[in-house]
Chains A and B, each alone.
Chain A
């Protein structure tokens, strides 16, 4: 029991969960509007697409890389998909949009994968370059502008699981069906990271690439998979976003990458690779979302938002950097019960 507690105190998740609870209680105390159905549903809604991105960003960071091209991938695949479906006057089920978007995302992700896996260029530089390339293709070659979405995507965007009413304010919010997509992606990714050799390979590469190779992991193949998978997630997230916004806007995802990466790191994923959990990532994303959605409930003018985001990033990353430092200074003795879950402190060793 004692060791479990000690182990918990070394993890980032409890702290961030504490921060979420504290912030929620503060907002509730100040406004009385936090724990209302519609506010919670609104939070879930604004977390859906960033949550998808965060899963992808986390996998890349766990593998020791960093990907800033996913908003560009999402925008370009979303835009091309919408254009194709509009041109074909498509009126079938929405699944086709997700398939096309996913395939386009996959291709763009594999392009990153080749540059990173085969040529071994620094991931930040590669993804900056491809990001610029994809945005340029969209805005230059395709001369992108705002498009309405085809009926299938529109209907999908308005579909709801349930509605939450706030009788006090007379507001209602719809729980989007796309949240199921996030749940599905989380489930698949969790299975992948916990229970497959491929997933363990991602942690191993992030921990130490040379050792992973010596241990028999196919480093190139794993990297191709990572960037391909992230591409697919980005493509799907782009479609989901277009559906939820009910129009295809080419540029409004730009700049989201840094917030997502910050949320992932806040959730305990180590930028040097090898350590990170999906739970932590979702906690991090939730904290960021609450921060940006609920400042107004605290009576703080919205233009303070960036100051708070910046402060959160600095404090959050500072805390996890200190934890990592403490761990380095005082190496853990052989752990009595090696954890099976992909917390993978052992992978970082």
Chain B
């Protein structure tokens, strides 16, 4: 089944290569169709589509960061803390360096400087998590939980818990701009991040190493890879992506605060898992994560169309969707494994190795 056959149509080949992505796309189309059919006048309005495209990038970019860490078998729970700390640092810098009424060119150059500062803060935060994980072998979930508290704590100490506002108006104007009437800047940034990380994971040596570390860290070490260095780089990447999210968030609300986006952490983990990233490491693609982000944005924007349905149904749906997807994938894998076993016993030698070793459920 996974053998690529020349006679197969391109679609069949695509399905065979990444069945999970294919299922996600079907789900995306289904959700879109249902929402569009139920509320055609509101949901399909261009302004609604544009506003959805403005909303998902800020947590979508974080989800990509978490996904890279999950592919190595870790997790980064510090993304939100990193995002806020980076945003607050940049906000403080911009407020201090750009007095009211500064010329546009000067403001713009300071904003670029601010973005660089944010990315640096993000990289440093990621480096701290990565250092704790690779050097001291602290389990990633705890190390990043600790650094999350630390970063959020620092952000609270810097701001004394108050929002930092009074940013140069140009910043939020740039961040909320819609290019050519349909392309919001956040979406553009998301696309940029997704493409860069996508290429990094699928085409570069570093990407291959990330998957290898996630599949079997010991084997990777014996294969001569510098596992510590690779893990370090994944968390630095995640931190930089998180700081980018922080900037988008800061542009949207025109201020920075220590506790913005507190619910994003779990949301991002859900997205990553829904997108087919294996929390035990070794599997996952940026494409899958992207489709999952869009599905969840469609669901939550769709729910907003119904005035009498509380926003909190979103949580029910997310939890429900996650569990349903897990169970469906389980049975599909099971089915595929049986089929593969059967064809293997017929002497075809189908590649079933990666599915082997999973005992059928309830065999205990």
Interface residues of A (CB under 8 A from B): 66, 68, 115, 118-122, 124-126, 128-141, 143, 213, 218-221, 255, 258, 261-262, 265, 271-272, 303-314, 317-318, 321-322, 324-325
- Bound state CA distance, A218 and B364, in angstroms? 7
Contacts of B280 in A (CB 8 A): 122
From 88 to 132 in chain B, residues with beta carbon under 8 angstroms from any chain A beta carbon are 132
> By the criterion of a CB under 8 Å from any partner CB, how many residues of chain B are at the interface?
52
From 168 to 220 in chain B, residues with beta carbon under 8 angstroms from any chain A beta carbon are none
- Residue of B whose beta carbon sits closest to that of A255: B262
B313: Cβ under 8 A from any A Cβ:
yes
B322→A119 contact, CB < 8 A: no
CB distance from A299 to the nearest CB of B (A): 15
From 218 to 268 in chain B, residues with beta carbon under 8 angstroms from any chain A beta carbon are 262, 266
Q: List 7 A-B pairs, minimum CB-CB distance, nearest first.
A: A136-B315, A133-B319, A306-B153, A310-B150, A310-B149, A136-B316, A307-B153
Contacts of A143 in B (CB 8 A): 310
B317: Cβ under 8 A from any A Cβ:
yes
- Residue of B whose beta carbon sits closest to that of A220: B364
B24: Cβ under 8 A from any A Cβ:
no
B40: Cβ under 8 A from any A Cβ:
no
- Bound state CA distance, A115 and B326, in angstroms? 9
A139-B312, A306-B152 known; 17 new pairs, CB 8 Å cut-off, are: A118-B361, A124-B75, A124-B269, A126-B326, A128-B273, A134-B319, A136-B315, A138-B312, A220-B364, A262-B146, A272-B139, A303-B161, A307-B153, A307-B157, A308-B153, A321-B136, A325-B137
- Residue of A whose beta carbon sits closest to that of B140: A271
- Residue of A whose beta carbon sits closest to that of B317: A136
A selection of 7 A-B contacts at a CB cut-off of 8 Å is A125-B273, A261-B142, A271-B139, A303-B161, A304-B157, A310-B148, A314-B132
B327: Cβ under 8 A from any A Cβ:
yes
A213→B315 contact, CB < 8 A: no
- Residue of B whose beta carbon sits closest to that of A222: B364
Contacts of B327 in A (CB 8 A): 119
A306→B312 contact, CB < 8 A: no
Interface residues of B (CB under 8 A from A): 75, 77, 132, 136-139, 141-143, 145-154, 156-157, 160-161, 262, 266, 269-270, 273, 279-280, 309-320, 322-323, 326-327, 330, 358, 361-362, 364
A307→B279 contact, CB < 8 A: no
Residue among B132, B154, B364 with most chain A CB within 10 A? B364
- Bound state CA distance, A134 and B75, in angstroms? 23
Residue among A130, A132, A135 with most chain B CB within 10 A? A132
Contacts of B330 in A (CB 8 A): 119, 121
Residue among B266, B316, B318 with most chain A CB within 10 A? B316
A140→B141 contact, CB < 8 A: no
CB distance from A205 to the nearest CB of B (A): 11
CB distance from B336 to the nearest CB of A (A): 16
Known contacts A136-B313, A313-B145, A318-B132; decide if A303 and B362 are in contact (CB<8 Å): no
Known contacts A303-B157, A310-B153; decide if A132 and B326 are in contact (CB<8 Å): no
CB distance from B215 to the nearest CB of A (A): 16
- A122, A141, A220, A307: the one contacting B154 at CB < 8 Å is A307
- Residue of A whose beta carbon sits closest to that of B75: A124
- Bound state CA distance, A133 and B319, in angstroms? 5
- Bound state CA distance, A119 and B326, in angstroms? 9
- Residue of A whose beta carbon sits closest to that of B128: A314
CB distance from A298 to the nearest CB of B (A): 15
A-B contact count (CB 8 A): 160
**Which secondary structure dominates where chain B touches chain A?**
helix
- Residue of A whose beta carbon sits closest to that of B154: A307
B317→A317 contact, CB < 8 A: no
B318→A132 contact, CB < 8 A: yes
- Bound state CA distance, A132 and B152, in angstroms? 23
B136→A119 contact, CB < 8 A: no
Contacts of A129 in B (CB 8 A): 270, 318-319, 322-323, 326
Known contacts A118-B361, A128-B270, A303-B156; decide if A141 and B146 are in contact (CB<8 Å): no
A317→B319 contact, CB < 8 A: no
- Residue of B whose beta carbon sits closest to that of A213: B364
A313→B146 contact, CB < 8 A: yes
Known contacts A125-B326, A271-B142, A309-B149; decide if A133 and B320 are in contact (CB<8 Å): yes
Known contacts A141-B313, A314-B146; decide if A132 and B157 are in contact (CB<8 Å): no
Known contacts A121-B326, A303-B160, A307-B154; decide if A132 and B142 are in contact (CB<8 Å): no
A317→B315 contact, CB < 8 A: no
- Residue of B whose beta carbon sits closest to that of A143: B310
- Residue of B whose beta carbon sits closest to that of A218: B364
- A124, A134, A141, A314: the one contacting B147 at CB < 8 Å is A314
Contacts of A312 in B (CB 8 A): 146
A136→B157 contact, CB < 8 A: no
Contacts of B154 in A (CB 8 A): 307
Contacts of B358 in A (CB 8 A): 120
A122→B279 contact, CB < 8 A: yes
B137→A136 contact, CB < 8 A: no
Contacts of B157 in A (CB 8 A): 303-304, 307
B326→A130 contact, CB < 8 A: no
Known contacts A307-B150, A310-B149; decide if A318 and B138 are in contact (CB<8 Å): yes
Contacts of A131 in B (CB 8 A): 266, 319
